[in-house]
């Protein structure tokens, strides 16, 4: 049976680990006002908790299994969100389910189109960060600079609102051209998640991505001792950069694109 849930009800059902349930944890702890929650309960046993995050550039779902060793088919959970008045899931569109990689083999998502693995990395050796570079904070009035650069780079999870809500930094050329960008998806004392990291095409292979990642990591440490980032597993070059700067992988997630 699928039951509608609010944040407090989800928290009361089961402990939610930051690192092992990262997407759901963030929706419950930080993005509850933009999230819808549902629980699948069978004969008093909690099988799964799902969430839908509003305001993303794609239909963003997450799923966390709680019933040990049992397979799970998402159709009933998905139908709940499909019928929710706050959600517009038009036929022909696609969605993305974020599922902890450890649960993936037990989950069936009808209409699966593609799948990518994402690694959650944590800064564990901040002494490996580079010396501070020449990046500077973007003022609110410069938000359009970040938006235009993000569009050129093709950042799939970029939200323009984040530039105003959370600090973002950029590296500029001598001609005041933005060359690299970095900011945050989460900026809280409990933890921060750096994101929106990218370098314009003509300024790549110059070490700017490494430098701005280091700079934004230092900025994150000023807010919280727990600094995270997420990176696609099929981007080994970026992973090597993050490892060089003192990050290590703490968990992994599958991002499964499917037809709605």
Q: How far is CA 134 from CA 80, 104, 172, 180, in A?
A: 49, 42, 8, 11
Residue 257 lies in a domain: no
Residue 139 lies in a domain: yes
Q: For the stretch 193-206, what's the b/e string if a residue is b when 16 or more beta carbons lie within 10 angstroms of its beta carbon? A: bbbbbbbbeeeeee
Question: What pLDDT, on a 0 to 100 scale, did the predictor assign at position 182?
Answer: 92
- What CATH number is given to the structural domain containing 245? 3.40.630.30
Alpha-carbon distance of 220 to 198, in angstroms, equals 17
Question: What pLDDT, on a 0 to 100 scale, did the predictor assign at position 256?
Answer: 96
Question: What pLDDT, on a 0 to 100 scale, did the predictor assign at position 68?
Answer: 72
Question: What pLDDT, on a 0 to 100 scale, did the predictor assign at position 43?
Answer: 87
Phi, psi of 189 (to 5 degrees): -65, -30
Please identify every stretch of the chain with a pLDDT value under 50, giving residue numbers as ranges: none
Encoded tokens for 19: 């690192």
Encoded tokens for 109: 């998502």
Question: What pLDDT, on a 0 to 100 scale, did the predictor assign at position 49?
Answer: 95
Does 129 share its domain with 227? yes
Alpha-carbon distance of 158 to 162, in angstroms, equals 8
Does 131 share its domain with 86? no
Does 100 share its domain with 155? no
pLDDT tens digits along 22-46: 999 999 999 999 999 999 999 888 9
Question: What pLDDT, on a 0 to 100 scale, did the predictor assign at position 155?
Answer: 67
Contact 74, 110 (CB under 8 A): yes
Domain end among 86, 110, 134: 110
Alpha-carbon distance of 232 to 234, in angstroms, equals 5
For residue 232, what are the contacts with CB-CB under 8 A and spacing of at least 6?
Answer: 116, 117, 118, 119, 238
pLDDT tens digits along 105-146: 999 999 999 999 999 999 999 999 999 999 999 888 787 887
Domain count, the chain: 2
Question: What pLDDT, on a 0 to 100 scale, did the predictor assign at position 158?
Answer: 66
Phi, psi of 220 (to 5 degrees): -65, -40
Alpha-carbon distance of 63 to 33, in angstroms, equals 18
Question: What pLDDT, on a 0 to 100 scale, did the predictor assign at position 156?
Answer: 63
**Which domain, by its residues, includes 182?**
122-252
Residue 246 lies in a domain: yes
């Amino acid at each position: 049976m699928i039951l509608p849930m609010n944040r407090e009800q989800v928290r009361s059902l089961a402990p939610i680990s930051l690192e092992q349930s990262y997407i759901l944890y963030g929706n419950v702890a930080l993005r509850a006002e933009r999230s819808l929650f549902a629980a699948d309960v069978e004969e008093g046993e909690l099988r799964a908790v799902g969430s839908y995050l509003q305001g993303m550039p794609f239909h963003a779902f997450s799923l966390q299994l709680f019933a040990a060793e049992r397979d799970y088919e998402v159709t009933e959970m998905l139908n709940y969100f499909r019928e929710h008045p706050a959600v517009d899931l038009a036929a022909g569109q696609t969605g993305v389910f974020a599922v902890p990689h450890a649960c993936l083999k037990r989950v069936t998502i009808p209409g699966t189109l593609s799948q990518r693995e994402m690694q959650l990395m944590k800064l564990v050796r901040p002494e490996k960060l580079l010396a501070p570079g020449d990046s500077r904070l973007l003022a609110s009035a410069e938000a359009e600079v970040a938006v235009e650069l993000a569009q050129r780079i093709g950042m799939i999870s970029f939200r323009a609102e984040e530039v105003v809500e959370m600090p973002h930094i950029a590296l500029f050329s001598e001609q005041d051209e933005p060359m690299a960008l970095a900011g945050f998806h989460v900026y809280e004392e409990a933890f921060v998640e750096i994101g929106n990291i990218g370098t314009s095409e003509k300024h790549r292979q110059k070490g700017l991505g490494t430098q701005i990642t280091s700079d934004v990591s230092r900025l994150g440490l000023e807010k919280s001792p727990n600094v995270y980032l997420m990176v696609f597993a099929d981007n080994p070059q970026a992973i090597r950069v993050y490892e060089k700067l003192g990050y290590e992988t703490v968990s992994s997630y599958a991002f499964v694109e499917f037809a709605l």
